[in-house]
Amino acid sequence: MFDAQQRTVRDLRRGNRAIVLRALYFEGPASRQELSETIGLSPATVSNVTGDLLASGIIVEAGLADSDGGRPRVLLRVNTTHGYAVGVDVGETHVRVELFDLDMNRQARAEYPLRPAGHDVDQVVRHILAGIDVVLGESGVPRERVLGVGVGVPGVVETGPDALIHAPTLGWDAVPLGRLLRAGTDLPLFVDNGATSMGQAELWFGVGRRARHAVVVLIGSGVGASIITDGATYLGANSSAGEWGHTKIMIGGHRCRCGGEGCLEAYVGARGILERAGVWTEAVDEQAALAALVAAGSPVIDETVTYLGVGLANLINLFNPERIIIGGWAGVLLGEHLLTRIRKVVADNCLAQPYKTVSIGLGRLGVDSVALGAATLVIEDLLQANPAARPNGAAPRPRNRAGI
Ligand SMILES: [Zn+2]
């Protein structure tokens, strides 16, 4: 009984702490009084919680704000250099490792090219671990100030201590990436699908800011999507939701890299487009080849506009988002040249009611935002849970997603 009561009090404190910290992270700086008004906690509770957060160094005072007639109020904000997050993009052609402060300013970056045909797991793990050392060395940030490492990968990530990756496009079948990385670093690890984590970054910092219901589609060589419903990423039963690229758009259609036929990815992914145009080879520079094809125009590009528009209309009918954000290097390339035509196809294939309320635009974070998205996994953990366990080194924190 006593234990249960104690636990409830502790949970309540942790919940309040998360609410205050989240408000300061996204809306700060703010005074204690503004916090109390916006989040609905009593002034006494806000005062207690901010006192704890100030003592742990995770927030700092940020000057004074005038108040009407009364004493000036002290503003509070998150301490940008309280800790750092590593973001890793395991892409189709590279492994990229980046280090961010809490404001998501990039401090350092390391990149290792991969041959599109070869994703040797051990090599990818070596690149990630080497990249962590490089970005810490370059930035001068001590390892104990790193809150964790977020890793964005293509494919499905199975939640659990091993973080099993199922990525047929890489030739990975139940690869225990989490366990392999764990053998080489003791930093907290968070592994998730790259499109899902990029969606979170767009929601926090990009075009999706403040959207409660949005879909971020990521179109590169492959195709994925991150579905945000009521402000949270929809993961599904096993975190595999959002595999929009493998929804069928043509019965008996082109073969997809997943082994299926007629998947959307085979029609709107860069490699699928180039294959249908007869210009795909293993040696081709996909980005240059697709840019040339889009600039020149081609029946395959016209067909791509149709399939992409229909694919987006299906998402709108299913999820009723306020916003669709098109990201990924190929998505931005197609969108910059063809967005008006794509919108027209969406309008022709979507129910009128949900179409009326949706906006369709391009991602703002650029084509290199998977590492940033992966780093948000670490920040999410910081905001959700925690008693500032790191960098001051205390108890383990609850993990979200495939946090290890
Ligand atoms: Zn497929």
* CA 116/CA 111 separation, integer angstroms: 15
- Using the mean position of ligand 1's atoms as its centre, give its distance from the Cα of residue 307 in Å: 14
pTM reported for the whole predicted model: 0.79
- Using the mean position of ligand 1's atoms as its centre, give its distance from the Cα of residue 97 in Å: 28
396: left (phi over 0), alpha (psi -120 to 50) or beta: beta
- Using the mean position of ligand 1's atoms as its centre, give its distance from the Cα of residue 36 in Å: 49
- Using the mean position of ligand 1's atoms as its centre, give its distance from the Cα of residue 244 in Å: 9
* CA 108/CA 34 separation, integer angstroms: 35
pLDDT one-digit tens code per residue, 359-390: 999 987 866 788 999 999 999 889 876 533 33
- Using the mean position of ligand 1's atoms as its centre, give its distance from the Cα of residue 165 in Å: 16
What's the token pair of residue 290? 């697709």
- Using the mean position of ligand 1's atoms as its centre, give its distance from the Cα of residue 262 in Å: 7
Phi, psi (5° rounding) for residue 226? Answer: -120, 125
Residues β-bridged to residue 75: 31
User: What is the identity of the amino acid at 55?
Assistant: A
Residue in 298, 272, 294, 274 with CA at minimum distance from that of residue 284: 274
Cβ–Cβ < 8 Å for 256, 283: no
Phi, psi (5° rounding) for residue 346? Answer: -60, -50
* CA 258/CA 270 separation, integer angstroms: 15
- Using the mean position of ligand 1's atoms as its centre, give its distance from the Cα of residue 253 in Å: 11
- Using the mean position of ligand 1's atoms as its centre, give its distance from the Cα of residue 154 in Å: 13
Alpha carbon distance, N-terminus to C-terminus of the chain? 31
- Using the mean position of ligand 1's atoms as its centre, give its distance from the Cα of residue 305 in Å: 19
pLDDT one-digit tens code per residue, 322-354: 999 998 889 999 999 999 999 999 999 999 999
- Using the mean position of ligand 1's atoms as its centre, give its distance from the Cα of residue 245 in Å: 6
The region of weakest confidence among 53-57, 84-88, 207-211 is: 207-211
Percent of the chain that is helix, strand, coil (3-state, to 5): 45, 25, 30
- Using the mean position of ligand 1's atoms as its centre, give its distance from the Cα of residue 248 in Å: 8
Higher pLDDT, 393 or 9: 9
- Using the mean position of ligand 1's atoms as its centre, give its distance from the Cα of residue 311 in Å: 14
pLDDT one-digit tens code per residue, 89-134: 998 778 999 999 999 999 999 999 887 666 789 999 999 999 999 9
Cβ partners under 8 Å of residue 105, min gap 6:
80
- Using the mean position of ligand 1's atoms as its centre, give its distance from the Cα of residue 260 in Å: 5
Peptide bond into 176 cis (omega under 30): no
Give me the pLDDT at residue 15, please. Answer: 86
Give me the pLDDT at residue 399, please. Answer: 36
Is residue 28 classed as helix, strand or coil in its secondary structure? Answer: coil
Higher pLDDT, 237 or 261: 261
- Using the mean position of ligand 1's atoms as its centre, give its distance from the Cα of residue 241 in Å: 14
